[in-house]
Structure 1
Amino acid sequence: MTNPRLTLDGVSCVLPDGSTLFSNLSEQFDHRPTGLVGRNGCGKTLLARILAGQREPSAGRCTRSGSVYYVPQQVSRADGRSVADLANVRTALDALERIAAGIAQPGDFETVGNRWDLRQRFHAELERAGLERLHPDTPAGVLSGGEATRVALIGAFVSAADFLILDEPTNHLDGPSRRALLEQLRHWPNGLLVISHDRRLLDGMARIVELSASGLRSYGGGHAFYAQRKAEERESASRQLEQARIERERGERALRDQRERQDRRQARGRRHGQEANQAKILLDRQKQRAETSHGKLQRQHAAERERLDRDVRKAWHAVEDEISIVLHEPAVMSAQKRVAELDAVALPFLPPSACEVDLILGGRQRVGVVGPNGSGKSTLLRLLAGQVEPLVGRREVHVPAAYLDQQLAHLDPRESAIEHLLRVAGNTAQSTLRTWLAQLGLDAARIGLPCGELSGGERLKAALACALYADLPARLLLLDEPSNHLDLPSLQALEATLRSYRGALLVASHDEAFLDGLALTDRLRATAQGWRLEPW
């Protein structure tokens, strides 16, 4: 189909608890590659499922011209599923086998369509993705998260769909796989909608559509253009907020002056009436008129104050979504010549060519750990954290270290952020800890919730707080893919937080744009010939 379209007409989504996630969305998605962005929890995935026809809207209508193929954010590797099931080609492959054997069933030819070379194309795509060892019947359970994602994406590319909808497709993909995906998307000939926080991926889109509480808003161009327009909007909104506050202050001052003038007039009227020895009935009428006038003025003032407050609230809503981070630095965060050393260390679980590493880490050194999936990045961080032992060699860590794994497994989902923090920071007053959490972006309403109910970004902030605000604060921070599952504003806030951290930092990530935002000093690269430390 040369002009595929997905059309939303007044679409709303109401959750089972009765709350409205989004309402009255009207938009058209056409052949232009489009990135869908928005805060975590705003409903991007539910909107994608509505567009794909997997969920009906609570109100409104979604129409589709052509076939739609949807790849979810989490690819299931449940028992019994195979590689062919992950790629959604099992039904077509079985139909091809029956046709070839002369035992075709009704519907087999329709299932195959014009994909007579599907088996060959599927195998070629597996080879191109470096997964040539797999075949359609390989159990999905033996695949890593990155491999399962690549297989699901292969299914999308061999589907011949008129429209692809991909939900966070670069999560779990290493650098080479991300670059390969970007290249494939550049050559995809049909409609494309990508939900992502990957700025490199979004820069390849023809437009960005943002989902927020106020609805959908379209921005022409890729992420760079979108970021520029958002910065201009924030600056304009900040100016409007400041102007609204000035107007409110000026208005309240005028209201006070007006009330004081009326009070003085009433006082003079009372004194004049008493001095003129007027009759009581006249004095009562004057008093009644004064009270009526005073009540009217009070109502006018109340209405004017509400208008001034409403203008400020309206201006504030335009900027309140921005995440502001203030990192409280412990006083003991002084520089140290060496914080950690690895001397001829052999990492476990890796082939001999990739396991040996030598590293001397200084007190203010900031290192990005990069390499393909399975190259040992997580193992290296765990070894520095003391969670695994080297096969041979010497490991020394001279300062308190904190390791934040991809699942933040050290956070008990039943306990709140403040409970976790109080356990490691008993020498600091609870009021102070609450202030520091608020400065880190966790407000009072959230810090008391069980960590299992927090978003990924909120849990990451809680983990950072426990590492940095403990009685013995971490002077070596080890982070494993901290940007996974964060929305764009949370990513930028995390970048700002880590840039202000004055200790030593090792962060493993496949997101080059995220790493570029951390003011790193070095790159520790895992290669087939071993580990290489290079200037960033």
Structure 2
Amino acid sequence: MSHAPTFVTCSALSFDWPDGTPVFDGLQLAVGPGRTGLIGLNGSGKSTLLKLIAGELTAGDGQIAVAGTVGHLPQGVTLDTTLRVDEALGIAAVRTALHAIEAGEATEANFAAVGDDWDVEERATATLDQLGLGRIGLDRTVGELSGGESVLLRLAALLIARPDVLLLDEPTNNLDLRARRRLYAAVDSWTGVLVLVSHDRELLDRVDQIAELREGEVRWYGGNFSAYEEVLAAEQETAERLVRVAEADVQRQKRELSDAHVKLARRKRYGQKMNDTKREPKIVMGERKRQAQVSAGKHRIMHTEKLAQARERLDQAVEAVRDDDEIRIELPATLVPPGRGVLTLRGLHLAHAASPAVPQAWELRGPERIALVGRNGSGKTTLLRTVAGLVPPVAGEALTHVPARFLPQRLDVLDDGLSVVENVARFAPQATNNGIRARLAHFLFRGARADRAAGTLSGGERFRAALAALLLAEPAPQLLMLDEPTNNLDLASVRQLTEALDSYEGALIVASHDVPFLESIGITRWLLLDDELRPTTAQEVRESMWQD
């Protein structure tokens, strides 16, 4: 890795999608050494910006300057399953040349292929071991790895390449707790320029500064995400106080303008009375009338200008208050009384698990909120799909006693060719169009937004639409199952999901590696799926990620 100063600068950067949709218009950005957390609403352009810096997209205007090499880990990384691990790491050619030299083929081509990278195998093995992949070896194929291991393998390739600038886009998606711990350690040890996009609060608490991308501009906050939240809360409190002050000023100016009109009317009546009684000479009365008209005009202008200025200050104060929309819904039909039977599992053997996942009998009663945790490949998704009736068990049974709905990771409950309204109508065929639209407004799909095709929605919008389709379904779901719901959601969307679940009154089962999110939604029981389903606690879950 180069020891020269490294940085990224974007000057007057503009970018539009092929259909003309603007993303950036004159964006300015400068990133120096250290760990930077890039945050912003879904659709604000975070992933697009990383792709522009990495050279995977071309800006329409402006300049991007990068000192040094760039490594980019995009969202949803996929690798050819037929590749060997060393090929995925980008070291196969060097290994081949190195082995040839060791076998006596000391050709110029082999030496050129190796260059200065004589310790490539040792570095690769050490990097894999650092990320918990030491057991896989360099000659196995990618197809033998889990999805989470594939993400770590792609990260290992970047660490071995030793770029000057490392860009990570939602790197903890699909990683279990132990894999996340490995990634956290890699981030902690990074000494170059690191820019990461993530909704993972624990990861964002490891950065040196936060860059918030909002309405096409970047605003910087020193410190990690927790420090950012504290500063933002203080800013919001100040902004809201200024709104109250400005509102009071507008009301005061309105009263003063009204009082001025009353006083001017009195003067006018007095002048008219003097004129009628002719107590003063005509020339005096004329001059008095002229002066009164001038004075009245000045007063009117002065108070009108003051009111206009007060309203402008109010507009500016309101603009400073963040108005990120919040989901506000009522779902009384989802209510499950305490003690009512919701789900029964008996002697369940899962289709894709090597051993029984559930003891002889297990029950969920009342509006419990269950956190389902476990390593990648332990069978969490399979268990939820089995309960939902999508996968038959090898043995045993899963009985739901109330209406149930399942929201999978891929959000494939939506038909991409249908609008948001039409998708919800599929789940609530008896509801009227106006009724669906009224309820969708609470999920932030108002007016024309509700008519957009599901295939055109952003990640956060798509999630809201899928959640709306399930929660507004008929009959209302009294058991809701969510599989890794925070994957690919920005922090605002995670907050919106939390708000929606606050209104949900039924039983909840959530499979997730996002412990802070699970803690925020009022989990009542934690279950670990390993060789079997057994009780655990949030503390034990956190401790387990730091144990090998």
For the aligned pair, the TM-score class normalised by the smaller chain equals 0.7 to 0.9
What's the counterpart of residue 243 of structure 1?
245
Q: What CA distance in whole angstroms lies between the structure 2 residues aligned with 1:193 and 1:503?
A: 40
Q: Hey, what does 1:279 align to over in structure 2?
A: none
Deviating more after overlay: 402-411 vs 222-231: 222-231
Tell me the equivalent position of 1:453.
456
Q: Determine which of 439, 442, 445 is the counterpart of 1:439.
A: 442
Question: Deviation string for 1:387-432 (max 9, x for gaps)?
Answer: 1222211321111111001121111122222233344445656555
1:209 counterpart (211, 235, 255) = 211
User: Structure 1 residue 196: deviation in Å?
Assistant: 1.2
Q: Structure 1, residues 16-47: CA drift from partner, whole Å, max 9, x if none?
A: 416352534142321x2222211122122232
**C-alpha separation in 2, matches of 1:99 and 1:304:** 85
Q: Secondary structure at the match of 2:468?
A: helix
Describe the superposition over 1:222-256 as per-residue Cα deviations: whole angstroms up to 9, x where unpaired.
22212222222222222222322232233333334
Aligned to 1:14: 15
Partner of 2:171: 169
For residues 180 and 429 of structure 1, do their structure 2 counterparts lie closer, same or farther at Cα, with a shift above 3 Å needed? Answer: same
- Residue 75 of structure 2: SS of its match in structure 1? coil
Structure 1 position 102 matched with structure 2 position 106: yes
Q: Which amino acid aligns with 2:156?
A: I
**Aligned residue in 1 for 2:545:** none
**Change beyond 3 A, Cα 1:290–1:75:** farther
The 8 Å contact of residues 347 and 356 in structure 1, kept in 2 or not, is answered as no
1:359 to 359, 362, 365: 362
- Find the partner of 2:89 among 87, 90, 95: 87
Residue type at the aligned position of 1:518: I
Q: Greater shift after overlay, 334-343 or 244-253? A: 244-253
* Structure 1 residues 302 and 443: alpha-carbon distance in aligned structure 2, compared to 1, 3 A threshold: farther
- Separation (CA, whole Å) in 1 of partners of 2:289 and 2:35: 73
Q: Is the alpha carbon distance of 1:92 and 1:70 closer, same or farther for their aligned partners in structure 2, counting shifts above 3 Å?
A: farther
Of 42, 45, 52 in structure 2, the residue corresponding to residue 43 of structure 1 is 45
Aligned-residue offset at 1:520: 0.3
1:124–1:235 CA distance, 2 compared to 1 (3 A): same
Distance apart, 1:476 and its partner CA:
0.5
Quick check: 1:506 aligned with 2:506? no
1:56 and 1:430 map into 2 onto residues whose CA distance is 42
| 8 Å Cα contact 2:13-2:64 kept in structure 1 | no
Structure-1 residue corresponding to 2:546: none
CA positional deviation for 1:86: 3.9
SS in 2 for 1:452: helix
Q: 2: CA distance between counterparts of 1:78 and 1:295?
A: 79
CA offset digits 1:295-337 (Å, max 9, x no partner) = 8887777755554443333223333343423231224614142
1:180 deviation in Å?
Answer: 1.0
Equivalence map 1:65-80=2 (5 Å): 65-77=67-79
Deviates more, 1:121-130 or 1:309-318: 121-130
Letter in 1 for 2:236: R
CA contact (8 A) 2:502 2:521 kept: yes
Q: How many residues align?
A: 531
CA contact (8 A) 1:340 1:396 kept: yes
Task: Give the CA deviation at 1:482.
Answer: 0.7
Match of 2:119 among 117, 120, 130: 117
Unaligned runs of 5+ in 2: 279-283, 539-548
Contact 1:368 1:520 (C-alpha < 8 Å) held by counterparts = yes
The residue that corresponds to 1:518 in the other structure is 521
Matches within 5 A, 1:79-478: 83-90=85-92, 92-93=94-95, 96=98, 101-105=105-109, 109=112, 112-126=114-128, 129-130=132-133, 132-133=135-136, 135=138, 138=141, 140=142, 144-213=146-215, 215-262=217-264, 306-331=308-333, 333-337=335-339, 338-352=341-355, 354=357, 358-425=361-428, 430-431=433-434, 433-478=436-481
What one-letter code is carried by the residue in structure 2 that aligns with 1:248?
V
CA 1:307–1:80 in structure 2 vs 1: closer, same or farther (change >3 Å)?
Answer: farther
Does the Cα contact within 8 Å between 2:260 and 2:300 map onto a contact in 1?
A: no
Deviation of the 1:379 alpha carbon: 1.0
TM-score (norm 1): 0.86
**Alignment-mate amino acid for residue 250 of structure 2:** R
Deviation at 1:268, TM superposition (A): 6.3
Change in Cα spacing, 1:257 to 1:345, as seen in structure 2 (3 Å) is same
Corresponding residue number in structure 2 for 1:494: 497
Residue 46 of structure 1 aligns to which amino acid in structure 2? T
After superposition, the Cα gap between the structure-2 partners of 1:431 and 1:105, relative to the gap in structure 1 and judged at 3 Å, is same
Q: CA RMSD in A?
A: 3.6
Residue 354 and residue 18 in structure 1: after superposition, are their counterparts in 2 closer, same or farther (change >3 A)? Answer: closer
Give the SS at the match of 1:224: helix
Alpha-carbon contact 1:330-1:468 (below 8 Å) kept:
no
Deviations 1:50-73 (A, max 9, x none): 433444544444333332222222
Greater shift, 46-55 or 447-456, is seen at 46-55
What displacement does 1:133 show?
Answer: 4.2
Distance (whole Å) between structure 2 residues aligned to residue 476 and residue 122 of structure 1: 46
> Structure 1 residues 509, 252: closer, same or farther in 2, change over 3 A?
same
The 8 Å contact of residues 348 and 356 in structure 2, kept in 1 or not, is answered as: no
1:330–1:473 Cα contact (<8 Å) kept: no
- The 1-side partners of 2:395 and 2:209 are apart by 52
Q: Aligned in 2, Cα 1:2/1:401: closer, same or farther, shift over 3 Å?
A: same
Q: What amino acid sits opposite 2:218 in the alignment?
A: L
CA contact (8 A) 1:36 1:44 kept: yes
* SS of corresponding position for 1:5: coil
Pair 1:63–1:345, CA change in 2 (3 A): same
Q: From 476, 482, 487, give the equivalent of 1:484.
A: 487
Aligned residues of 2:346 and 2:359 also touching (Cα < 8 A): no
Q: 1:20 to 1:395 in 2, by over 3 A?
A: closer
* Whole-angstrom CA distance in 1 between matches of 2:520 and 2:377: 25
Q: CA deviation at 1:96?
A: 4.5
SS in 2 for 1:33: strand
Q: Which secondary structure state, in structure 2, belongs to the residue aligned with residue 12 of structure 1? A: strand
Separation in 1 of the partners of 2:109 and 2:438? 68
- In 2, the alpha carbon distance for the partners of 1:347 and 1:44 equals 39
**Residue 236 of structure 1 aligns to which amino acid in structure 2?**
T
Rate the CA distance shift 1:15–1:86 in 2: closer, same or farther, 3 A.
farther
Answer whether contact 1:4 1:191 (CA < 8 A) is retained: no
SS at match of 1:324: coil
What secondary structure, in the 3-state scheme, does the structure 2 residue paired with 1:393 have? strand
CA distance in 2, matches of 1:389, 1:284: 99
* Counterpart Cα distance in 2 of 1:133 and 1:442: 47
Whichever residue aligns with residue 342 of structure 1, its letter is: L
What letter matches 2:169 in structure 1? D
Could you tell me how far apart the structure 1 residues matched to 2:97 and 2:481 are? 50
